[in-house]
Chains A and B, each alone.
Chain A
C-alpha cells in the first residue's frame, strides 16, 4: 500500500454551531489520497466541496472527525504551525489567481519563501527555475496586470510549486480562463503529476475536467457519493 498524503476520517463541518441557524455542511467525509495521485473532487456549487477544500488546505478546521496530512493531525496544531504547514506542504492554485498586484511575477513566486521559517539561499534563482518550468521566465519582471489569465495562472502554479509541497490544491484553476488556455493549464498539472510525481487535488464543478484525472470523487450535499477511476 502506498503512502497516504491525505487521510480524512468522518469529517463533519458545522457552521453557526449552537445557534438557531446551525448548518451542517459536511456530514462525515472519509477520504484518503495517496502520494502521487491526481484526484478531482467534483460537485455542484453548494455541495460542500469548497468547505472540504478549505479543510484539506488547512485554511479551516473541521468541527469533528480526524484529518491527517502526511500522517500529522493538523487540527491539533496552533495557528502558527498551521501557517507553516500551508507554507511548506500545500501549494494553492486559485480560480482568480490571487497574485499580489503590486509585485512582479518573480516577486509573486518568491512570496512563500519570504514567509518560510528559514532564510532561503538562492531564492531568486529558485523562483526563476519555477518560472522557467511554467514557461514564464521571460515574463519575470511583468506585473500581474500585464499578463493574460493563462499567464497569471502559470505564475500562480510556479508560486505553488516553489516550496516543493506535498500536495497541489487547485480550486477551479480554469474557471476564469477560456477553454484553450484552460487546457494549457490542465496540461501543466498533468506534467507536474507525471514528470515530478506531484499529488494534485483538483476541485471543480466540471465533469469534463474531472474526466481528465486519475480518480474522481463526487460530492453531493456534504457527502461523498462517488469515487471512481477517471479517464486516465
Chain B
C-alpha cells in the first residue's frame, strides 16, 4: 500500500512534470544553497586544519615576553627591560619540560638567524655561493619538513658541542661542488661583517620553494642565496654573545597530543620556573585557537545562509501546498472513485501527504545534486587557481573538498518535513470530501 502510494505519487508528478518542477524550485534553490555553503565552509575548515597540521599545526609556539605594568601610572615610567641569559629559555628547561610531559612534548624547534655570507672556492675565485646562515635546533629540519638528501641531519651532540658543522641546500651543493660529493668537505664562509668561519658539510637538504620563496629567475643562478643550517649553540657562540637560551621557539607535540591541553601544561611549567623572574614570563599559544576563530566565523556564515534557506524552504512549501490544493481539486472525481472502491479517509490523506513528501524529496534531492555539483566545481576551480597561481604552495595546501554529509541528511530531513507540513492541510481536505459529492464533481 505504502509502496503503491509512492508509485502513484511518482506517476502523478510525472504526469505534470513542468508544474512539479516549478513547484519544487523554491525547495531546490533553498537546499542547493545550503549544500553549497556548507560544502565551502566545511572544505575551508578541513583544508585549513589539514594544511596547518601538516605545516606544524601540531606545535605550540612560545616566546619570552616582558611583564607589562598593571597600572596606567606605571606605564609612564616603564621601559622594556634588558634581557640577560637568565631570561632566555635554556635547553635544560626544555629537556625538563619534555621529561615532565613525555607523552605530549617531543622536542623544540628554534632558529637563530645569523646573517648572510658568501662561500668562495679557494681554488677558483669565480666559483662562489651566497648563503644565509641560521642556527637551528636538531629537531628543526624535521619540523620544517625538510628532507635530508645526503649525509645526516644536525644532532644533539653537534649542538651541545657547538660544532662547526652545517647542512646545505641541494641546489647550492650541486652547483658549487659541481657533481662531487660535498659530504665531509670543508667550506669557509665570509659573513657580511667580514669574519670568516670554517664549516664541515655533514648533510644536504632538499631545497623547498614553498618554505624559502620562489626562485627569482632575474637573479643569475650563482648569485642566488640559499639557507645554510648550523647548530644553534654554534651560531650563538659565533655571534660572540653569552646567550645560550631561546627567545622564540616552537614545541613539537606527539601526533595524538591535545594541542590546547599541551599549551596549558607548557604555560604551567614555565609559569613556575619564571615565578621569581620580575621582568619576564613565557607566553605560549597554538594555531588551533586561530583555527577555532575561523571556524566560528564560518559557522556564523553557515547559520545565516541556513536561515535564508529556511525561508526559501517555507516559500517552496507554500508553493507545494498551493499545487497540492490545485491537484486535489482537479482530482476530486478520482478521490470519489477511490472512496467508492473502499479507500478510507486516512488512506486518501496518506496518499496525498506521501505525494507532497515525494514532491519535496525530489526537490530536495535535485537541490542536493546541484549543490554537490557546484561545490565540486568550486573545489576544482580553487585547485586550479592554487596549481596555477600559487604553484609554490601547492604541495603544502592539502585541499579537502567534500560536501557535508550532515548537511545532506539534514536537507533530506527538512525537505521531507516540508512535505509533511505543507502537504497535510491539502491532504486532510481531500480526505474530508463526501464520497457522493466527489463522485459527482464535474
Residues of chain A at the chain B interface (Cβ within 8 Å): 54, 57, 59-60, 79-80, 83-84, 86-88, 92, 94, 98, 100-103, 111-112, 114-116, 159
Contact = CB atoms under 8 A, between A and B. Distances in A.
Contacts of A80: 344-345
Contacts of A159: 341
Contact of B338 (A101, A102, A115): A115
Interface string B332-355: 011011111111110100000000
B428 to A, nearest CB: 14
A84 B340 CA distance: 10
B1 interface: yes
B338 A111 contact: yes
Contacts of B341: 86-87, 92, 111-112, 115, 159
Instruction: Output the residue of B334, B340, B439 with the most chain A CB within 10 A.
Output: B340
Interface in B1-53: 1, 4, 8, 11-12, 15
Nearest to A119: B1
Given A98-B337, A100-B337, A111-B338, A59 B439 contact: yes
A92 B338 CA distance: 11
A103 B345 CA distance: 21
Contacts of B378: none
A87 B341 CA distance: 5
Given A59-B435, A98-B333, A115-B344, A83 B12 contact: no
B344 A112 contact: no
A54 B438 CA distance: 13
A15 to B, nearest CB: 11
A116 B338 CA distance: 12
A52 B157 CA distance: 111
A79 B436 contact: no
Given A59-B340, A100-B334, A103-B11, 18 more contacts: A54-B436, A79-B344, A79-B345, A80-B345, A83-B342, A83-B344, A87-B341, A94-B337, A94-B439, A98-B336, A98-B340, A98-B439, A100-B337, A102-B8, A114-B1, A115-B338, A115-B344, A115-B347
B439 A88 contact: no
A176 B385 CA distance: 71
Instruction: Output the residue of A59, A80, A102, A116 with the most chain B CB within 10 A.
Output: A59
Nearest to A55: B436
A54 B435 CA distance: 10
Nearest to A115: B342
Contacts of B336: 98
B11 A116 contact: no
A54 B440 CA distance: 11
A59 B343 contact: no
A18 B273 CA distance: 98
Contacts of B333: 98
A87 B338 CA distance: 10
A86 B337 contact: no
Contact of A60 (B1, B15, B347, B436): B436
Contacts of A60: 435-436
A159 B435 CA distance: 18
Contacts of B343: 83, 115
Nearest to B15: A102
A61 to B, nearest CB: 10
A112 B11 CA distance: 19
By Cβ-Cβ distance, the 4 closest A-B pairs, closest first, are A87-B342, A115-B342, A98-B337, A83-B344
B432 to A, nearest CB: 11
Given A98-B337, A100-B334, A114-B4, A86 B439 contact: no
Nearest to A84: B342
A101 B338 CA distance: 12
A86 B15 contact: no
28 contacts: A57-B340, A59-B439, A60-B435, A79-B344, A79-B345, A80-B344, A83-B339, A83-B342, A83-B343, A86-B339, A86-B340, A86-B342, A87-B341, A88-B342, A94-B337, A98-B336, A98-B337, A98-B340, A98-B439, A100-B337, A102-B15, A111-B341, A112-B341, A112-B342, A114-B4, A115-B338, A115-B344, A159-B341
Contacts of B344: 79-80, 83, 115
Contact of A92 (B1, B11, B334, B340): B340
Instruction: Output the residue of A83, A100, A112 with the most chain B CB within 10 A.
Output: A83
Contacts of A79: 344-345
Contacts of A101: 334
A162 B347 CA distance: 20
A112 B435 CA distance: 16
A207 to B, nearest CB: 25
